[in-house]
Homo-oligomer: A and B are copies of this chain.
Amino acid sequence: MNPIIILVHPQLVENIGMTARAMANCALPELRIVSPRDPWPLGDIHRQRMMAASSGADDILENAKHYDTVKDAIADLNYVYATTARGNDMVNRIMTPRAAVPDMIERTSDGQKVGVLFGPERMGLINDYVALANAKITIPLNPDFMSLNLAQTVLLIGYEWYQANDATPENRIRIGKSRPALREEYQKFFDRFEDELDKAGFFVADDMRPTITRNLQSTLGRAEMTEQEIRSWHGVLSALVDGPKRKKKS
């Protein structure tokens, strides 16, 4: 069960479309709209402008539900978060998006229906609506320049939701069609490398050999090469050693 995105009095149909686009990026399917400026259902022209702004997130918009009041839009929910940038004097539980998401996950896995309220462009949510929610979500960003548009705010909440539910490895080497080289393949290449350097008279001072060897080996090790790349480097070594001679042979 995903959190439900609830737009309160959105002013521009383009922003409803862009919100749907942001939601689709984050695999959030359910949108509710409370009394937008342009009466719902939209006329053809407004509808077209909304659809164009959604870049193909049509399903979300087709299935969006309209409500007359915030109270109606949240009536069947167990827990409601209100997004807001502004400080006010109300006593509130305030969470960052990063803390709100585990809270959402815990509730939804428990069978609860949760929703997130987003206020109109520029204005944000009025206090009366914030008071209807259980908690507030405030995105920590540069206090000297807070200028997120509606769809960006939805995107950041949706992004956090998606990350928490996603298992993409955080840091990995992508190896394409090859496979990570075996230590044996590294070692064979390196033995040959060292041998050729020896023949070429690279090791002028014998006492430096262990250090230099270790450093060269370490460079290649850090690169985490694939089997394919080891073969390429064998070719590189052959070319450098044989030089133009090799070309003449062919």
Contact = CB atoms under 8 A, between A and B. Distances in A.
Contact of A24 (B142, B156, B162, B174): B142
A208 interface: no
A170 interface: yes
A139 B53 CA distance: 22
Contacts of A21: 147
B141 A91 contact: no
A162 B142 contact: yes
A98 to B, nearest CB: 6
* Copies of this chain, tallied across the complex: 2
Nearest to A173: B93
A148 interface: yes
Contacts of A111: none
Contact of A172 (B89, B94, B142): B94
Best-buried of A95, A144, A163, A175 by chain B (most CB within 10 Å): A163
A64 interface: no
A96 interface: yes
Interface in A66-100: 87-96, 98-100
Contacts of A177: 89
Interface string A142-166: 1011111000100110010011001
B176 A89 contact: yes
B155 A57 contact: no
A168 interface: yes
Given A89-B177, A140-B162, A176-B89, A170 B27 contact: no
A145 B89 contact: no
Interface in A6-62: 21-22, 24-27, 55-57
A97 B161 CA distance: 14
A166 B99 CA distance: 14
Contacts of A170: 95-96, 98-99
A163 B21 CA distance: 24
B142 A27 contact: yes
B145 A25 contact: yes
B152 A229 contact: no
A225 B92 CA distance: 10
11 contacts: A22-B152, A25-B141, A25-B148, A27-B141, A27-B144, A90-B174, A94-B173, A96-B170, A138-B168, A140-B168, A152-B155
